[in-house]
Amino acid sequence: MTGPPVSNDPVARARMMLQAGQWAAARFRAYDHGSVRNIVAGVARAGHEHATALAKATVEETGYGVAEDKATKNRIASLGIAEHYDGDDFVTPRVDAQHRIVEVPKPAGVIFALIPSTNPVSTLYFKVILALMTRNAVVVSPHPGARQVCMDACALLRDAALQAGAPRGTIQIVDEPSIPLIEALMGDPHTNVILATGGTGVVRAAYQSGTPAIGVGPGNAPVMVDRTADAAAAAKDLVDSKAFDNSLLCSAESVLIADAEIAKRLTAELTRAGAHICAPEETERLRSYLFPDGHLNLEAVGQSAATVARSAGIRTSTRTRLLVTPLALVIPEEPLASEKMCPVLGLNIQPDPGAAIRAARAVLRVAGAGHSAAIHSNDPDVVIAFSEALDVLRVVVNAPNSTGVAGFDTNVAPTMTVGTGFTGRSSLGENLEPRHLVNWSRVAYNKNEAIAFPDFEALRPWERIFKPQGIPHVEETTDASQELREQIRQLVLEELRDLVGSR
């Protein structure tokens, strides 16, 4: 009796994809820096050229966000990322003659990249390009709510990579995502690392899979404005930040803590910048609409301030870009003190900077530990006191937090994946960078200088070691049947190895 078709078995499908990825990664590992750089450049250009079209398609498919803002993210996550790291080399061995050490790069292998529905294309661009920079293969798993646009984006990058000389199988996508298939891919020993971006459940599942995983924690960023701040500049940054892509970035400010001495000026400037300061009854309507059962109403996610206000029964001006809800207390029992993935900002007024810092700490006790916070201040003592007191790994000063944390408006590493460190229960305490996807073997010579240390810079041994005979460098066959036969051959060989190893 024959079994069910392989295509209907999620475990078998996962194994086939990972075998193709392992085969591609093994070939990719033989590429030099110049070839890798060409591939990255070609993929980044393709992504950049289609940034606007895919942004529009994302909004149409998911119903979230602002197409213009998504296009900005897509451009930064493609050509912007490639240009930022263009001077870095994650491929060539490094020689430290002074310390008598040679560092040899070891790519992860096959990366399993989970993609959220809130920022699908920019996250896909980002993870694929980082994988290519470090000579890794990548299997993309889209959120079902953004499946088609991810399919289109992945095909675009895959074709550009092949055109530039990448091995076939370097970029793949799960075309019909399902829980059994995702679990099989995450738990398979041929998956080398998981990049988990999404809800808490997704990240926890990645960590529990037994495969090394790089996950992130949720945001709930407090922002403090003290008495020394430029009220007009702070207000503009706050409105721009919360309105950007309708507050879908997890780094968007959640609760504004204002020093009482500047509160009146600040609220006036917020109104001028396009915010609507809610009256008590309007705040109650928003609370009921956004958290009808204690959990965020998903219908509000990624919607404009006007749409949220209308749904909550609040009348606003046509120029309103942000809804501000005054809060008497910042406590876990106040739902408006938690993350709101729409242009709604809590406002809590405190009598002095010390009290404001304590209130900001209280916001993080609700959620968002390890993630980020922002402060608008011209007093360096207050900035440092705020930064020291809060359990976050990024503090943005006098800039929009949503884009500042991602490196758009600051000089931190540009990213679409923000690690929250030990406090936020994340394995990563930084913005995800290419260096996190490659290990380095340290070849350490005896520190006794009487023992020779070769001149590796002159020898360049990797010119022969990293381009072994019999492995094509950039040439690729276009014969689909030959490709399929090779994948099947690799699968059979692996199954035989498993069988022999089990005896």
Reply yes or no on whether 154 is catalytic: no
Among the options 150, 154, 250, 278, which is catalytic?
250
Q: How many residues does the chain have?
A: 503
In Å, what is the CA distance from 162 to each residue of 11, 132, 177?
A: 27, 12, 24
What letters, b where the CB count within 10 A reaches 16 and e where it falls short, cover 59-83? bebbebbbbebbbbbbbbbbbbbbe
Helices (H), ranges, 303-444: 305-312, 353-366, 380-389, 401-405
How far apart CA 51 and CA 32 sit, in angstroms, is 29
H/E segment holding residue 140: strand 137-142
Nearest to 164 by CA among 38, 25, 30: 38
Nearest to 58 by CA among 128, 143, 132: 143
Helices (H), ranges, 251-410: 260-273, 280-290, 305-312, 353-366, 380-389, 401-405
Structure tokens, 441: 């073997």
Half-sphere exposure of 180 (CA within 13 A, CB side): 6
Sheet holding 137-142, edge to edge: 171-173, 137-142, 110-115, 193-196, 213-215
How far apart CA 18 and CA 12 sit, in angstroms, is 10
How far apart CA 433 and CA 416 sit, in angstroms, is 10
Structure tokens, 349: 């007024």
How far apart CA 415 and CA 434 sit, in angstroms, is 10
Task: Report, as residue numbers or ranges, the catalytic residues.
Answer: 250
